[in-house]
């Protein structure tokens, strides 16, 4: 029987986004504050996922050996380092989150049966690398506060309360929504980026956060005049709003995850939504509710 196991590790390191062949203006235009000299630091959190058959001792891999391999090949070399100088790979391609994850895979794959490397630069920025050439996934997190009411316009108040409970109350209720946007694409061999992080944040802010923040969704967002603003429908709408802007940035929207509360979240995968030719207000596609 095959299983996936995960091992967590961490290291503290600094880095700088700066290309010597670019002017100072171009570096700051492309990388923003990440171009500041002499760099900045993070407490990186690393998750190493391994796939394998269970052995006679009930293990995919001896965790003590896994820990030693990660320490020897990665964390002992990167902890308290300046990443740009730590490994020769970062002389060629900048140590962005996604590129660090890719290089860690390369360093560990001769020693461990890897299936995924996930690297958190901070709680709202992380990358996933699955061993597929220069392709990687990058996730950014943000938030907005909004109110909504869940009620089907063709049903009576009594029926709406049976379906939606307190969420059907006439004056609505609010949430502090946490939004995670995942893009995928090829890592640029020089900048180390799937997409320019500055412009990605700007797109999410412009198309989602600014229009949605501090609104009553049913009344302030035209889409929800006829579509019930459940977490599922909100995530689907956000997916539609971001798909084209992210494509114009040179990446592909992969997933939108909307966390309505600590107990409720929803994930929408852009490719599945597109393959079903979803048109508002329909909601076909893959939804994952937690």
pLDDT grade for 277, boundaries at 50, 70 and 90: low
Say if residues 139 and 76 touch (Cβ distance below 8 Å): no
| Verdict on whether the full-model pTM lies above 0.85 | yes
In order of their start, the domains of the chain are 1-133 (3.30.479.10), 134-290 (3.30.479.10)
125, 141 contact by CB (below 8 A):
yes
* Whole-angstrom distance, CA of residue 150 vs CA of residue 167: 5
Q: Is 234 helix (H, G, I), strand (E, B) or coil?
A: helix
- Whole-number pLDDT of residue 279: 43
Query: For all residues of the chain together, what is the average pLDDT?
Result: 93
Q: What's residue 272's pLDDT?
A: 86
Known active-site residue 42: no
Indicate the pLDDT class of residue 273, thresholds 50, 70 and 90.
Answer: confident
Half-sphere exposure of 25 (CA within 13 A, CB side): 0
Catalytic site includes residue 226: no
Cα separation of 133 and 105, whole Å?
11
Ramachandran assignment for 59, one of left (phi > 0), alpha (psi -120 to 50 degrees), beta (any other): beta
Question: What per-residue confidence (pLDDT) applies to 110?
Answer: 97
d(CA 229, CA 260): 11
In whole angstroms, what is the distance from residue 112 CA to residue 25 CA?
42
Secondary structure (DSSP) of 246-268? HHHTT-EEEEEEEEEETTEEEEE
pLDDT above 70 coverage of the chain, percent:
95
Q: Please identify which of the residues 214, 226, 248, 284 carries the catalytic annotation.
A: 214
CA-to-CA distance for 121 and 116, rounded, in angstroms? Answer: 16
pLDDT of residue 106: 98
pLDDT in tens, 117-147: 999 999 999 999 999 999 999 999 999 999 9
Which of 258, 248, 103, 235 lies closest to 177, judged by CA?
Answer: 258
How far, in Å, CA of 228 to CA of 78, rounded? Answer: 49
Q: What is the band of 274 on the pLDDT scale with cuts at 50, 70, 90?
A: confident
Catalytic residue among 167, 178, 186, 201: 167
Write down the catalytic residue from 73, 232, 260, 267.
260
- The length of the chain in residues reads 290
Of 44, 40, 48, nearest in space to 11 by CA: 44
Over residues 93-118, the pLDDT tens digits come to 999 999 999 999 999 999 999 999 99
167 is catalytic: yes
């Amino acid at each position: 029987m095959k299983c996936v196991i995960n091992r967590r590790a961490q290291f503290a390191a600094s880095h700088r986004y700066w290309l010597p062949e670019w002017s100072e203006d171009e570096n700051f235009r492309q990388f923003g504050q990440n171009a500041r000299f002499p760099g900045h630091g993070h407490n990186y959190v690393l998750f190493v996922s391994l796939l394998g058959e269970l052995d006679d001792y009930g293990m995919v891999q001896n965790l003590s050996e896994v820990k030693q391999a990660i320490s020897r090949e990665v964390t002992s070399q990167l902890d308290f380092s300046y990443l740009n100088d730590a490994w020769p790979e970062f002389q060629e391609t900048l140590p962005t989150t996604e590129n660090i994850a890719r290089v860690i895979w390369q360093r560990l794959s001769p020693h461990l049966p890897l299936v995924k490397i996930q690297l958190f630069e901070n709680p709202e920025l992380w990358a996933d690398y699955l061993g597929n050439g220069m392709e990687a996934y990058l996730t950014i997190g943000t938030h907005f506060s909004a109110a909504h009411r869940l009620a089907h316009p063709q049903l009576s108040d009594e029926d709406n309360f049976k379906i939606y409970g307190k969420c059907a109350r006439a004056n609505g209720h609010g949430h502090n929504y946490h939004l995670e946007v995942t893009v995928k694409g090829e890592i640029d061999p020089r900048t180390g980026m799937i997409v320019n992080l500055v412009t990605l944040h700007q797109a999410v802010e412009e198309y989602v956060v600014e229009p949605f923040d501090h609104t009553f969704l049913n009344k302030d967002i035209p889409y929800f005049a006829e579509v019930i603003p459940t977490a599922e429908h909100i995530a689907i709408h956000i997916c539609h709003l971001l798909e084209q802007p992210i494509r114009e940035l040179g990446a592909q929207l992969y997933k939108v995850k909307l966390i309505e509360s600590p107990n409720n979240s929803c994930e929408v995968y852009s490719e599945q939504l597109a393959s079903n030719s979803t048109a508002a207000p329909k909601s076909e596609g893959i939804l994952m509710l937690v």
